[in-house]
């Protein structure tokens, strides 16, 4: 009986446990867990080539996306560098040379005669557009060309690349703003600008070594000074251009267009085609405005006490259709000036500039220029100035320019001065 009772209890217990066991098996899937554990043990001990390749491919795909993103941004950085509205370019010029002035009586000029001078200029140009059509131009410049200044080496030997700066500090050299008015007109305004930047016609295509030969002869008609000013330019589709502008010396301290601040008012008319250009300018200068890098000592004398001058300049240039030939491009200039001062104060000047492009090597340039500096009609010495140079382009960024220049002028005693200069300019553009 006891045995029978024990069998009944055991059978009942098994019946009660079986459902729970079945449910536990369904939920836990013990066999599946065993299979998983076995696979984990196996994978931890063996290199899975397929998995590794997949991971590497995914990493390469991510890297490619990053590179593609950088390439997409490259034009932006090339155009703006540090800003989406401002572009920057610039140059550095190393100058090494000497000037001999035989017959010079000027103490400063004598001190620099025959000495080897080394100097530099560093320039940065920033152009900012706010609408896509306007432009804010700022030029930063520094240099130590004291030995090449018009005061230290007179007689028109001031280099076009020269720049003197107090303590070699970087200064704001130019600053102005331009914006279109309609489709053909542009207005200019700025606290540091010169007349010739606001003209509608380029007066000369000759690239000079001497500052005297800029603008087809930097005499009274085109001579200017960095000052507050404003102007207007009209450019037609057929090549005709008209401009009028003014600058006022010391306008930031003595007021604009006042008797205390000398004023230069220039009006230019010109016509330009791809192969040639002609232009004429009238520059009225008031209250003893004095400037020019292309002049004699007597031609410079324009300070007679609140005197005004009328300055007329004629310019023209022509270039051949093809470079690399014996035919040069030609730039011409003629200036006349009349001052309402007692005595004879009229002056004349002329300029001739010749350029051979690609004549020896591609992208090279040979330049020859000569002319008569702004001469007083009573000058006893016939002044003359010349330069010859060769531009050798090392690459797109570096150009080496050896040059010889010289001529004849007059010293403070009225005697003739013969001058000869040598210089090598190395220009780095960026």
User: Is-contact 351 212, C-beta < 8 A?
Assistant: no
What number is the average pLDDT over the span 140-169?
A: 82
When mean pLDDT is compared across 39-53, 225-239, 316-330, 370-384, the lowest value belongs to 39-53
d(CA 258, CA 363): 48
> Which backbone phi and psi does 249 adopt, to 5 degrees?
-60, 140
Instruction: Give dist(CA 22, CA 264) in Å, integer.
Output: 108
DSSP secondary structure of 278-310: EEEEEEEEESS----SSB-HHHH---SSS--EE
Beta bridge partners of 263: 248, 286
What's the rounded Cα separation, in Å, for the pair 104 and 117? 18
Residue 31 has pLDDT above 50, yes or no: no
Structural contact between residues 353 and 368, judged by C-beta atoms closer than 8 angstroms? yes
**Could you tell me what percent of the chain has a pLDDT over 70?**
75
Least confident of 11-15, 106-110, 201-205: 11-15
Strand (E) positions, 322-364? 329-339, 347-357
Instruction: Please give the structure tokens belonging to residue 408.
Output: 């004849």
Overall average pLDDT of the 400-417 stretch: 87
CA dihedral 223, 229, 230, 236 (to 10 degrees): 20
Residue ranges of domains in the chain, CATH in brackets: 87-429 (2.40.160.10)
pLDDT in the model for residue 245: 96
- What confidence tens digit (pLDDT) does each residue in 196-240 have? 999 999 999 999 999 999 999 999 899 888 899 999 999 999 999
pLDDT at 66 over 70: no
Q: What is the pLDDT of residues 263-303, one digit of tens each?
A: 899 999 999 999 999 999 999 988 777 777 888 877 777 55
144: Cβ contacts below 8 Å, ≥ 6 apart: 119, 120, 164, 165, 168
Which neighbouring-strand residues pair with 285?
264, 309
Rg (CA), the chain: 39
**Burial state string for 6-41 with b = 16 or more CB within 10 A and e = fewer than 16:** eeeeeeeeeeeeeeeeeeeeeeeeeeeeeeeeeeee
pLDDT at residue 300, rounded to an integer:
74
Higher pLDDT, 310 or 153: 310
Question: What b/e readout covers 172-209, taking b as 16+ CB neighbours within 10 angstroms?
Answer: ebbbbbbbeeeeeebbbbbebbbbbbbbbbbbbbbbbb
**Does 67 or 98 have the greater pLDDT score?**
98
Who wins on pLDDT, 53 or 37? 53
Query: 79 φ, ψ to 5°?
Result: -80, -40
The pLDDT assigned to 44 comes to 44
Q: What is the mean pLDDT of residues 307-323?
A: 93
Say what the pLDDT of residue 275 is. 97
Query: What's the confidence (pLDDT) of residue 41?
Result: 45
What is the spatial distance between Cα 391 and Cα 211, in angstroms, rounded to a whole number? Answer: 17
Q: So what's the pLDDT on residue 60?
A: 63
Residues in the chain: 430
- Examine the pLDDT at 46 and tell me if it is beyond 70: no
pTM score? 0.78
Burial bucket for residue 145 (CB in 10 Å: 0-12, 13-18, 19+): buried
In the predicted structure, residue 71 carries a pLDDT above the cut 70: no
Q: What is the pLDDT of residue 64?
A: 60
User: Residues 294, 311: contact at Cβ < 8 Å?
Assistant: no
**Of residues 12 and 162, more confidently modeled:** 162
User: Once rounded to an integer, what is the mean pLDDT over residues 72-90?
Assistant: 66
Tell me what the pLDDT averaged over the chain comes to: 82
Structure tokens at 353: 């500039």
Q: What percent of the chain has pLDDT over 90?
A: 52
Choose the most confident range, by mean pLDDT, from 80-89, 215-224, 236-245: 236-245
């Amino acid at each position: 009986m006891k045995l029978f009772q024990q069998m009944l209890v055991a059978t009942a217990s098994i019946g009660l446990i079986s459902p729970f066991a079945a449910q536990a098996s369904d939920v836990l899937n013990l066999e599946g867990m065993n299979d998983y554990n076995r696979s984990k043990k196996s994978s931890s001990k063996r290199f899975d080539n397929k998995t590794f390749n997949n991971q590497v491919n995914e990493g390469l795909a991510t890297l490619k996306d990053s590179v593609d993103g950088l390439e997409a941004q490259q034009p932006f950085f090339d155009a703006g560098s540090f800003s989406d509205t401002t572009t920057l370019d610039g140059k550095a010029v190393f100058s090494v040379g000497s000037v001999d002035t035989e017959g010079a009586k000027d103490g400063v000029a004598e001190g620099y005669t025959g000495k080897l001078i080394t100097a530099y200029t560093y320039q940065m140009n920033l152009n900012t557009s706010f609408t896509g059509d306007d432009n804010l131009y700022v030029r930063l410049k520094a240099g130590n060309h004291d030995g090449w200044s018009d005061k230290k080496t007179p007689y028109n030997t001031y280099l076009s690349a020269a720049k003197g700066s107090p303590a070699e500090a970087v200064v704001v050299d130019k600053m102005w703003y331009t914006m279109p008015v309609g489709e053909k007109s542009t207005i200019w305004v700025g606290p540091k600008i010169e007349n010739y930047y606001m003209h509608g016609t380029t007066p000369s295509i000759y690239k000079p070594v001497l500052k005297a030969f800029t603008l087809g002869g930097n005499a009274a008609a085109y001579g200017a000074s960095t000052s507050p000013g404003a102007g207007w330019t009209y450019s037609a589709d057929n090549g005709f251009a008209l401009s009028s502008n003014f600058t006022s010396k010391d306008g930031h301290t003595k007021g604009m267009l006042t008797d205390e601040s000398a004023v230069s008012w220039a009006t230019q008319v010109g016509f330009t085609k791809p192969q040639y250009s002609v232009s004429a300018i009238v520059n009225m200068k008031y209250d003893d405005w004095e400037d020019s890098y292309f002049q004699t000592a007597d031609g410079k004398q324009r300070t007679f006490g609140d005197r005004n001058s009328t300055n007329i300049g004629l310019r023209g240039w022509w270039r051949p259709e093809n470079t690399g030939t014996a035919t040069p491009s030609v730039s011409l200039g003629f200036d006349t000036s009349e001052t309402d001062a007692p005595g004879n104060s009229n002056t004349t000047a002329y300029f001739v500039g010749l350029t051979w492009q690609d004549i020896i090597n591609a992208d090279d340039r040979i330049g020859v220029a000569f002319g008569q500096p702004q001469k007083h009609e009573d000058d006893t010495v016939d002044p003359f100035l010349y330069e010859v140079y060769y531009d050798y382009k090392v690459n797109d960024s570096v150009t080496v320019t050896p040059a010889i220049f010289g001529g004849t002028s007059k010293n403070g005693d009225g005697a003739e001065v013969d001058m000869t200069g040598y210089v090598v300019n190395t220009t780095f553009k960026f």
